[in-house]
Amino acid sequence: AQRVTQPEKLLSVFKGAPVELKCNYSYSGSPELFWYVQYSRQRLQLLLRHISRESIKGFTADLNKGETSFHLKKPFAQEEDSAMYYCALGDSGSGAGSYQLTFGKGTKLSVIP
């Protein structure tokens, strides 16, 4: 069975400091990995997915299949980055196409001014 682990419930960093939110997964197939973010009083939204290899709001994440990790990084944290971050693993179930997601329990990032 697939599993996503986010070891930190809370991560506090100073503004301008680097940020790394950890995510490890276990999955027997070829994984699709995502990072979702939930800002205060907003709905859950996609931040980035590994197949797009984009940098969104300065965040990047690299899939490391050897270490089964998909850590989220940003070189310089901003106050507006304070939010709840969820790592998720996509499982296409019985076939290709849409994915049901397995989420980690989330990491609350707090950026201190």
Partner 1 sequence: EAGVTQSPTHLIKTRGQQATLRCSPISGHTSVYWYQQALGLGLQFLLWYDEGEERNRGNFPPRFSGRQFPNYSSELNVNALELEDSALYLCASSSWADEQFFGPGTRLTVL
Q: Contact positions toward partner 1, by CB under 8 A?
A: 43-46, 49, 86, 92-94, 96-106
Query: For residue 88, what is the enclosing H or E element?
Result: strand 83-91
As measured in angstroms, the least distance from the Cβ of 110 to partner 1 is 19
Strand 10-14 vs strand 107-112: parallel, antiparallel, or unpaired? parallel
Q: Closer CB to partner 1, residue 14 or residue 42?
A: 42
- Tell me if 92 sits within 8 A of 99, measured CB to CB: yes
As measured in angstroms, the least distance from the Cβ of 100 to partner 1 is 5
Q: Closer CB to partner 1, residue 63 or residue 77?
A: 63
Cα–Cα–Cα angle for 87, 63, 33, rounded to 5 degrees: 35
State how far the Cα of 66 lies from the Cα of 53, in Å rounded to an integer: 18
State how far the Cα of 82 lies from the Cα of 32, in Å rounded to an integer: 25
Q: Closer CB to partner 1, residue 15 or residue 32?
A: 32
As measured in angstroms, the least distance from the Cβ of 59 to partner 1 is 16
Q: Closer CB to partner 1, residue 47 or residue 111?
A: 47
As measured in angstroms, the least distance from the Cβ of 86 to partner 1 is 7
